[in-house]
C-alpha cells in the first residue's frame, strides 16, 4: 500500500494544468482532495505517471449564490459548503445532502470536482447533481463546454470525461420559494458511503397538487438515477399518504440493484421504497 513512483506538478493556472494533462495523454491525472485518488494509488489500482495538483489553480474554489442558482467551483470542499451558511436558505437540499458525506477529516479535503469525476455509485453529490438537473462545466483541450449531470455518469467509477478534461464547476438551477424537499440516506455507519440514498423535492401548485417532482437515488445502480416512475406518481396529485405510498411502490419497482458483500439486491430495492416514503413524508410534513 505504498504508491508506485510517479511525478507531481502543481500548475499555477488552468491553461497550464490543461497543457500538462494534454501532454501526458491520459497518463496524468488531476489531484484534487486526494481522498479517493490516493487510496486508489496506494492499492495500486491505477498507475498514472503524473499527478497534476489542482490546489494551485486559481478560481476553482468559489461558491456563488445568485438569481440563476448556485455555482460550486470544482475545488470547493465539503466543509466550504457546510461553512456557507447562506445555502440553508438559498439551496437547502445541498447542505443537507453534503452533511452525510464521510467524516470530519475527509470533509476538510474532499471536493466537488473530485467527487463528480470519481463517480462513486453511492456518492451523494453525483446523486444530487442528477436529481436536480445540475450542469457540469468542463474545460478540455478544445476549450470549455457544458453538459447536464445526467450525461456525465456512464458507469460505476466511470464518466464521459475525455482524458485531460477538467471539471471546473457545477451549477444548480434556481431554487423556488416554498419548495418541499428532503434527503434520506441509509449507511451502515455514520459517514460511510450510502447503501441507498434518496433525494426529493417538489413544488405545489395553487390547488395543492405536486408539480415538478424530482426524486433520485444513489447506491442502486452503477450511477445515480432519477426515480421517474415515482415522480410521475406524484406529479398532479395532492400529497397524502396514498400518493406517497404509490410513489414509494413505483420507486421500488423501477430499480435494478445488484448484490454486494454489504447488502443484497432485494434489500437495496426495499430501501429505495422505504427511503422514498420517508423522504416524501418528511418533505410534506
Partner 1 sequence: MKAPSPMSPNTYVGQPIERVEDLRFLRGRGQYIDDIKRDDQVCAAFVRSAVAHGRVRSIDATAALAMPGVRAVITAADFDGPIPTIPFRRPNPSIGPYAQPVIASDKVRYVGEPVAVVIADTAERAEDAAQEVVLDIEELPAIVGMAPAEANEVLLFEAAGGNVASVFVGTLGDAAAAFAAADRVVRGAFRTQRQTAMPMETRGLLAEWNATTSHLTMFGAAKLPFFNRRAMAAMMNLPEAQVDYIELDVGGGFGARGEFYPEDFLLAFAARRLGCPVKWIEDRREHFLATGHARESACDIEFALRSDGIILGARGTLFSNIGAYVRPNGITPARNMVQFLSGPYRIPNIHFEGRGIVTNKTPAGTYRGPGRYEGCFYCEQMLDLSADKLGLDRLEIRRRNLLTDADMPYRLATISPSDGAAETFCDSGDYRSTFERCIIESGWAEKAQLQGRLIDGRYHGLAIGNFIEGGASGPQENARIDVEADGMVSVYAGSSAIGQGTETVLGQIAADALEIPFERITVLHGSTTYLSEGWGSYGSRGTVMGGSAVIDAAQGLIAKFRGAAAIALDVAEKELHIANGVASAPNGRSVKLAQMAGLSCDGSFKNSKATYTFGAAMAHVAVDPKTGHVAVIDYLAVDDVGRIINPLTLHGQVTGAAVQGLGSVFSEELVYDESGQILVGSLADYLVPLATDYPTIRCVSLENYPSPNNPLGAKGAGEGGIIPVGGVVLSAVTAALQSLGVRPRELPISPPKLWALIQQAAQA
Nearest to 257, CA basis, from 214, 224, 211, 213:
224
Residue 23's binding partner among partner 1, ligand FAD, none (Cβ under 5 to 8 angstroms by kind) is none
Residue 2's binding partner among partner 1, ligand FAD, none (Cβ under 5 to 8 angstroms by kind) is partner 1
Q: Cβ closer to partner 1: 240 or 260?
A: 260
Stretch that binds partner 1, among 90-98, 203-211, 222-230, 257-265 (CB under 8 A): 257-265
**Distance from the Cα of residue 129 to its chain's centroid:** 5
Residue 244's binding partner among ligand FAD, partner 1, none (Cβ under 5 to 8 angstroms by kind) is none
Cα distance between the two ends of the chain: 48
Residue whose beta carbon is closest to ligand FAD: 114
Residue 105 CB, shortest distance to ligand FAD, in Å, is: 8
Cα–Cα dist 240/244, whole Å: 6
Contact 123, 113 (CB under 8 A): no
Applying CB under 6 A, the residues found at the interface with ligand FAD are: 29-37, 54, 74, 101-102, 106, 109-111, 113-115, 117-118, 120, 123-125, 166-167, 191-193
Q: Which of 191, 208, 236, 238 binds partner 1 (CB under 8 A)?
A: 191
CA separation (Å) from 207 to 12, 27, 54, 231? 55, 57, 50, 18
Pairing of strands 158-159, 143-148: unpaired
For residue 186, state whether it binds partner 1 (rule: CB under 8 A). yes
Q: Cβ closer to ligand FAD: 172 or 252?
A: 172
Q: Which of 23, 151, 188, 253 binds partner 1 (CB under 8 A)?
A: 188
- In the region spanning residues 101 to 130, those forming contacts with partner 1, defined by CB under 8 A, are 103
Q: What is the DSSP string of 124-161?
A: HHHHHHHHTT-EEEEEETTEEEEEEGGGTEEETTEESP
Q: Which of 271, 272, 279, 283 binds partner 1 (CB under 8 A)?
A: 271
Cell numbers of 235, please?
A: 406529479
Q: Enter the DSSP assignment of 221.
A: S
Q: Cβ closer to partner 1: 64 or 266?
A: 266
For residue 263, state whether it binds partner 1 (rule: CB under 8 A). yes
Task: Strand 7-9: give its sheet, edge to edge.
Answer: 7-9, 50-53, 28-31
86 burial (CB, 10 Å; 0-12 / 13-18 / 19+) is exposed
For residue 155, state whether it binds partner 1 (rule: CB under 8 A). no
Residues in the site for partner 1, rule: CB under 8 A? 1-5, 39, 43-44, 103, 186, 188-193, 195, 261-264, 266-267, 270-271, 274
Amino acid at each position: 500500500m505504498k504508491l508506485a513512483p510517479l511525478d507531481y506538478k502543481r500548475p499555477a493556472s488552468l491553461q497550464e494544468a490543461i497543457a500538462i494533462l494534454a501532454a501526458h495523454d491520459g497518463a496524468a491525472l488531476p489531484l484534487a482532495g486526494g481522498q479517493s485518488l490516493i487510496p486508489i494509488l496506494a492499492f495500486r489500482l491505477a498507475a498514472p505517471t503524473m499527478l497534476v495538483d489542482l490546489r494551485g489553480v486559481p478560481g476553482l474554489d468559489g461558491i456563488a449564490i445568485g438569481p440563476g442558482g448556485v455555482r460550486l467551483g470544482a475545488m470547493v470542499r465539503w466543509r466550504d459548503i457546510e461553512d456557507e451558511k447562506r445555502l440553508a436558505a438559498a439551496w437547502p437540499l445541498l447542505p443537507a445532502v453534503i452533511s452525510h458525506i464521510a467524516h470530519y477529516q475527509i470533509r476538510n479535503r474532499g471536493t466537488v470536482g473530485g467527487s463528480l469525476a470519481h463517480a462513486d455509485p453511492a456518492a451523494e453529490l453525483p446523486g444530487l447533481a442528477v436529481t436536480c438537473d445540475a450542469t457540469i462545466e468542463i474545460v478540455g483541450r478544445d476549450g470549455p463546454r457544458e453538459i447536464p449531470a445526467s450525461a456525465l455518469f456512464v458507469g460505476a467509477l466511470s464518466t464521459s470525461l475525455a482524458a485531460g478534461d477538467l471539471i471546473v464547476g457545477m451549477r444548480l438551477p434556481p431554487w423556488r420559494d416554498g419548495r418541499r424537499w428532503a434527503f434520506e440516506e441509509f449507511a451502515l455507519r455514520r459517514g460511510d458511503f450510502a447503501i441507498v440514498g434518496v433525494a426529493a423535492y417538489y413544488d405545489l401548485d395553487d390547488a395543492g397538487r405536486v408539480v415538478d417532482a424530482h426524486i433520485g437515488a444513489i447506491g442502486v445502480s452503477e450511477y445515480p438515477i432519477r426515480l421517474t416512475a415515482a415522480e410521475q406518481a406524484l406529479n398532479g396529485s395532492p400529497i397524502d399518504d396514498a400518493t406517497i405510498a404509490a410513489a414509494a411502490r413505483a420507486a421500488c419497482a423501477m430499480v435494478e440493484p445488484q448484490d454486494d458483500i454489504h447488502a443484497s439486491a432485494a434489500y437495496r430495492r426495499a430501501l429505495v421504497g422505504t427511503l422514498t416514503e420517508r423522504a416524501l413524508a418528511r418533505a410534506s410534513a
